[in-house]
Structure 1
Amino acid sequence: MEYKNEEIIEAYKIYTRLAASGNCLTADAKAYMRDERIEELVDQFAREDDATIIVGGDILYLVPIATTSPLHMSNEMIKRIYLSSGATNLDIYLMYVTIIILLGEFYNSYQSQEPTRSFIKMEEWLEAVHLRLESISQIEEEELRKIEEEQEYNWIRILEKWMAIDDVKEKAKKQSGNTNSRMSFLNSVKNFLEKQGMIHDIGNNEMELTEKTKVIVQRYYMDYEYNRGLLDFIYQFDKKEGA
């Protein structure tokens, strides 16, 4: 398809605005919303960067869909900006698992295409993460190593990392330090999600999903190609209990 010069320029303006900040108001991208040719051009620019454009409410979002995308935030950047000093890639893997579990709490363990709750408390998220990882820890180590090879995900070290955060010294009479340490990690993840426009803090230690997140979950999170079977693995115990 051939495009007019002014169409290319208009599409490029919209795309550069999106690439600079990751989003823009639909009111500032009227040509994208109204003109299919402009929309096709902008979408094509996004594909060249291994990204996609989604509409969430009155906002356009540019979302990388592959680690090869120049728009994808590197592990080093995530560690430097959002995690504590000394963080490793293992912290990022644990971070991703906690995000999967958080979203699962909104989507009934991914059994629903629409959110089944409007908000969640930090304490509920913490409890959900602990219960999921505790269930996984019950799997025999030999079986877990086979699963690691299939998923290319180091579950044993992730479990060790989570349990290590709960390293309460025997002389301590209270276990609040345990919860606070884990809560501190989840607060770092929460900060990351807020900065990425995926959740809103609504006060009272509660948060809700943004329209951006809802669209991403519907399009990608439940797709086996993108989650590599992680959802099935993390929530397999729900299926067994409900069988």
Structure 2
Amino acid sequence: MMYHNEQVIQAFNLYSKLSARGYGEKNELRLYLADDAIRGLVDQFAKEVDCAVISAGDYIYLIPISMGSIFHVSNDTIKRTYLPSKAVNLDIYLMYVAIIILFGEFYDSYQTIEATRDFISLEDWLISINERILSLKELGIEELKELEKEYEYNWVSIVEKWDAMDDIKENVKAQNARTISRMSFLNTVKKFLEAEELVRDIGNDEIELTEKAKTIIQRYYMELEYNRGILEFMYQLDKRKEEEKDAGHF
């Protein structure tokens, strides 16, 4: 397709606004929605930096779709901004697992295209993570090590990291400020997701997904190309557990 110089300039101006903040109001970027040629150019600009442009709610977002994108939030940035000073990459991998499980709770273990619930409590999120980490442990270290080769994910260390965290007990009124608890870890993940406008705090220790999150999940998170099969692996543990339970009845 041949583009006029004016179209290229208009498209680049729109892309520049998106790249500067990562988002823009639809009213401000209405030309992106109204003109197919300009939208095509903006999408091409985004693709050149491994990003995609998505429309969600009242906003249009520029989101990175690969680790190599210059707009991807780096591990160092996550550690410096959200995690304790001694955090390592393993903390980030555990964050990713927690996020996978959180999103899966909204999409019935990624079996549905539309969200099946409106909100979730931090406690239910914690319970869900506990269940899946337990399922990982039940596979045994040797099998987990074999799976690490396939998924390039350090499942053994993730299990050990989660086990090392202390649960908050209701009968304990005060805890050492340095104690790393599972719930405080989830609050850290929650802050990251809020900063990225993926979840919204609705009070009572409950959160809901934003329209931005729903669009990203439906368009990218469920695609094998982007999640390296980790979603399927995490949630096939549920199926495997059910099959083993059914087999035990015979």
Settle same-fold status: TM greater than 0.5. yes
Partner of 1:45: 45
Q: Secondary structure at the match of 1:110?
A: coil
Structure 1 unaligned regions, length at least 5: none
Partner of 1:124: 124
Spell out, residue by residue over 1:15-48, the C-alpha distance to the aligned partner (whole angstroms, 9 max, x if none). Answer: 1111111111111011111001110110010001
Partner of 1:156: 156
* Cα distance, 1:2 vs structure 2: 2.3
* Cα distance, 1:240 vs structure 2: 2.7
Aligned-partner Cα distance in 2 for 1:126–1:176: 20
* Cα distance, 1:177 vs structure 2: 5.3
Q: TM-score, normalised by structure 2?
A: 0.91
Aligned-partner Cα distance in 1 for 2:26–2:94: 35
* Cα distance, 1:237 vs structure 2: 2.7
Q: Determine if the alignment matches structure 1 residue 56 to structure 2 residue 33.
A: no
- Aligned-pair Cα RMSD in Å: 2.0
Q: TM-score, normalised by structure 1?
A: 0.93
Aligned-partner Cα distance in 2 for 1:141–1:241: 17
4+ residue runs over 3 A deviation: 173-180
* Cα distance, 1:241 vs structure 2: 4.5
Q: Secondary structure at the match of 2:109?
A: helix
Partner of 2:246: none
* Cα distance, 1:76 vs structure 2: 0.3
Q: Secondary structure at the match of 1:66?
A: coil
Partner of 1:115: 115
Spell out, residue by residue over 1:44-94, the C-alpha distance to the aligned partner (whole angstroms, 9 max, x if none). Answer: 100011000011022101010011111111100010001111110000000
* Cα distance, 1:174 vs structure 2: 4.8
Partner of 1:83: 83
What number of residue pairs does the alignment pair up? Answer: 239
Partner of 1:69: 69
Partner of 1:230: 230
Aligned-partner Cα distance in 2 for 1:220–1:142: 32
Aligned-partner Cα distance in 1 for 2:175–2:154: 26
The one-letter code sitting in structure 2 at the alignment partner of 1:80 is R
Partner of 2:25: 25
Structure 2 unaligned regions, length at least 5: 244-250
Partner of 1:209: 209
- The 1:155–1:61 alpha-carbon spacing in structure 2 relative to 1, beyond 3 Å, is same
Aligned-partner Cα distance in 1 for 2:161–2:239: 26
Q: Identity of counterpart residues, as a percentage?
A: 53
